[in-house]
Amino acid sequence: MSDRVKKLQQILDRYNIEAMLISKPENRRYISGFTGSAGTLLIDKQNAYLFTDFRYVEQVKEQCPGFKVIQIGDDFYQKLLHLLQKSGVSRLGFETHYVTYESYDKMAGELSGVQLVPVKDIAEELRLIKNSEELQLIEKAVDITDRAYSEMLQLVKTGMTEKELALELEFIMRRLGAQGRAFDFIVASGPRGALPHGVASDRVIQPGDMVTIDCGAVYKGYHSDMTRNFVLGKADEKQQEIYNIVLEAQVAGIEAVRPGVPAASVDLAARGVIERYGYAQNFGHGTGHGVGLAIHEGPRISFQEQELILKPGMVLTVEPGIYLPGWGGVRIEDIVLVTENGCRILTKTPKNQLPVI
């Protein structure tokens, strides 16, 4: 049995369940190693089962040592019920944030005699701390992003559309070994910079525009996430001023990252700087989030997260921004690793000066 399955089995009691169903893709992959698109894990105190269809049976046998593979067609619930009865499971956890109402309804109808227990974040709890192998994959995704961004900067010119720039960036990432992009890239130029999630559009990049690019690569399932800005031509005073404030806030956020502190303290450190300059109303999102098999995972870096304590091995983003409707915006985002003594910034792309191209 893998360590991850054992850890999950050890915490079943804490959630007051005897077995757990897992089908959210990144959790399924984390616990079993299975990379396919369809399958459900059943973990009870002694056993680990993986239900999948004909397409994936052989793949599961290769990828998931320690799991008993059960091939299903439309008989999933019958086979599941049989195993639950065999193991004497009366309280079965399911992923509240992933199971749809329709599946829940079906499951409740089919699994007579079994109490379905909503469980939030049991596998996510294990995923919070990355091991060295996961860290290597994240660092590789970060490295691809750094190198691709630097290559892309050589190609930027006015007259290109945001979408063209996004496409160039993705192409370079794939050439450098990424399996794909981590999300739809944000390329927000000029006034579009005021949209925190301004996915690349057909807008033509103009001389004098501030451009915000938020991008990342996926490498063997692991994500990276980085935001940088640049100006085409010459930066004006306002662009320089807003950039410097966001940079100061971002550095303050990173300086607050260390083990033993609540996630909220990172948010408050960054937010405090932006508030001090009078832009509190223009920073309306959290300061960051964990990154791993998902682009957004725990720990959430928000001023509300007073209970969530940072620990060595957590990987998170620090990404404050200022967004001014009609003018544009700036966000700076790095990925950092919480270490025994503080943190290590994984992102290498320079940020100390606003690049002018």
Least separation in angstroms between residue 216's CB and Mn ion is: 6
Least separation in angstroms between residue 173's CB and ligand GLY is: 14
Residue 277: which of Mn ion, ligand GLY, none does it interact with, CB under 5 to 8 A by kind? none
Among residues 317 and 347, whose Cβ is nearest to Mn ion?
Answer: 317
Q: How far apart are CA 219 and CA 146, in angstroms?
A: 13
Least separation in angstroms between residue 217's CB and ligand GLY is: 12
SS (H, E, C) the chain: CCHHHHHHHHHCHHHCCCEEEECCHHHHHHHHCCCCCCCEEEEECCCEEEEECHHHHHHHHHHCCCCEEEECCCCHHHHHHHHHHHHCCCEEEEECCCCCHHHHHHHHHHCCCCEEEEECCHHHHHHCCCCHHHHHHHHHHHHHHHHHHHHHHHHCCCCCEHHHHHHHHHHHHHHCCCCEECCCCEEEEHHHHHCCCCECCCCECCCCCEEEEEECEEECCEECCEEEEEECCCCCHHHHHHHHHHHHHHHHHHHCCCCCCEHHHHHHHHHHHHHHCCCHHHCCCCCEEECCCCCCEEEEECCCCCCCECCCCCEEEECCEEEECCCEEEECEEEEEECCCCEEECCCCCCCCCCEC
Least separation in angstroms between residue 74's CB and ligand GLY is: 38
Chain residues in the site for Mn ion (CB under 5 A)? 214, 225, 317, 333
Chain residues in the site for ligand GLY (CB under 6 A)? 183, 214, 225, 319, 333
Least separation in angstroms between residue 121's CB and ligand GLY is: 19
Distance of CA 227 to the CA centre of its chain: 14
Least separation in angstroms between residue 182's CB and Mn ion is: 8
Among residues 286 and 328, whose Cβ is nearest to ligand GLY?
Answer: 286
Among residues 174 and 296, whose Cβ is nearest to ligand GLY?
Answer: 296
Angle in degrees, CA 353, 336, 354, rounded to 5: 10
Among residues 27 and 317, whose Cβ is nearest to Mn ion?
Answer: 317
Among residues 134 and 333, whose Cβ is nearest to ligand GLY?
Answer: 333
169: left (phi > 0), else alpha (psi -120 to 50), else beta?
alpha
Among residues 71 and 349, whose Cβ is nearest to ligand GLY?
Answer: 349
Residue 183: which of Mn ion, ligand GLY, none does it interact with, CB under 5 to 8 A by kind? ligand GLY
Among residues 36 and 286, whose Cβ is nearest to ligand GLY?
Answer: 286
3-class secondary-structure state, position 288? strand
Least separation in angstroms between residue 32's CB and ligand GLY is: 27
Among residues 225 and 297, whose Cβ is nearest to Mn ion?
Answer: 225
Q: How far apart are CA 121 and CA 95, in angstroms?
A: 7
Q: Which residue number is nearest to ligand GLY in terms of Cβ?
A: 214
Residue 143: which of Mn ion, ligand GLY, none does it interact with, CB under 5 to 8 A by kind? none
Residue 26: which of ligand GLY, Mn ion, none does it interact with, CB under 5 to 8 A by kind? none
Least separation in angstroms between residue 319's CB and ligand GLY is: 6
